[in-house]
Amino acid sequence: MNSADVIIIGGGIVGSSIAWHLTEAGCRNVLVLEREAQQGKGSTGKSMGGVRAQFATPVNIRMSLYSIPFFARFDEAMGHPSGYRPQGYLFVATTSAHLDYLRGNYRRQVEAGLQSVRLLDARDVAAVAPQLRRNDILGGSFCATDGFVDPYSVMTGFMRKAMERGARLLRETEVTGIALDARGVTGVETSRGFVGGRTVVNAAGAWAGGVARLAGVDLPVAPLRRMLVPTEPFDKVSPRSPMVVDMNSGFHYRPEGRGLLLAWNDPQETPGFKLNFDRGFIEKVLTRGVQRLPCLEEAQVNPRRAWAGLYEMTPDHHPVLGPVKQVPGLFLANGFSGHGVMHSPATGRIVTDLILRGKSDLIDTELLGFDRLAAGRWLHETAVL
């Protein structure tokens, strides 16, 4: 454990993807530090697992255009399943403003190279999701290559393959300090001792702000609780259903096992490390769910099976990727604002490119750089769930 060429703080899906991409590019002396006894105990294991290219900003669309085909071939590349199910995302519009919004997004998505997205009229929406209340539906958008993955399985596949190529994973190892000299990073202090290395990647998820402070960096990433409610077995909605998003209320659902997984982003939720599930949320999500999916009245919910996880939010709902110029050797892969799982392949590729080559041709990395936040060059992603 004395030293490593690259030290990654955080062994979730993002840190695991970076480790794999580094080893794939020939950098084998990689050390991943995970403070928990098991990987995936943070946000990875609590994610809804959705993957989509239906975003509003070109940079997010391009990250999806790399990531989704990656998930499709993941099993072959890793020898491990991703659980990718291309069942689509259906956005349902009930106002002309929402329709205009979807049309604008559609144009940007097509311009970026997305070929499987289409705009729908009300009859098309009813054909894709016949159980919806449809009297107020005006139209929507659907992308057949959107869908879901198994986040824990993807994380495991990345890390196992990286370790086959020489990467090391240390669990139950908390980073307590980042050491610096006049040239930048020299290593990290951990609960198991010091590890030397001139390149450190912060992939600590919702805890990234605290890790950044260890190097004297003020990183505006805040934890925000998101809660998910699975139903008991429920046969009124096909297990082949897409992820359905009611743009009016924000309620969304997808098949999960023999039932459904229900979600809604409560606007009254406040930032903080709140990992408890609030049972009052069940009434909130079901009330909004039944308004769009009336058959949900017949579904049963066991509160003990519901859970809470944390988004890692930035002010503009876009990640912070790349080097911190003020601290040479420190790289950030943080602030995905709910899109960390779906963009984990692209993140691994981009961060690896920046570490090894100083640039990436996948996206314009200046758009997501740390300096954009202080300079006020915010990107405004409005397609946030």
Domain ranges in the chain are 6-49+151-219+317-375, 85-147+223-313
pTM over 0.85: yes
383 has a pLDDT exceeding 70: no
pLDDT band at 379; cut points 50, 70, 90:
confident
pLDDT for res 60: 95
Taking only the tens place, the pLDDT of each residue in 143-184 is: 999 999 999 999 999 999 999 999 999 999 999 999 999 999
| Direct distance between the N- and C-terminal alpha carbons of the chain, in angstroms, rounded to an integer | 40
The Cα–Cα gap between 165 and 162 comes to 5
pLDDT for res 376: 78
What is the chain's percent helix, strand, coil content, to nearest 5?
30, 25, 45
pLDDT for res 374: 80
The whole-chain average pLDDT of the chain stands at 95
CATH number for 6-49+151-219+317-375: choose from 2.40.128.20, 3.50.50.60, 1.10.580.10, 2.40.30.10: 3.50.50.60
Which residues are CB-contacts of 358 (< 8 A; sequence separation ≥ 6)? none
Let me know if 197 is exposed, middle or buried by CB neighbors in 10 A (0-12, 13-18, 19+): buried
The secondary structure of 79-97 as a DSSP string is SS----B---EEEEE-SHH
Query: How much of the chain, in percent, has pLDDT values that exceed 90?
Result: 94
Taking only the tens place, the pLDDT of each residue in 281-309 is: 999 999 999 999 999 999 999 999 999 99
| 155 φ, ψ (degrees, to nearest 5) | -55, -45
pLDDT for res 38: 86
pLDDT band at 378; cut points 50, 70, 90:
confident
pLDDT for res 252: 97
The Cα–Cα gap between 263 and 253 comes to 6
CATH number for 85-147+223-313: choose from 3.40.50.970, 3.30.9.10, 3.30.390.10, 3.40.50.620: 3.30.9.10
pLDDT for res 45: 83
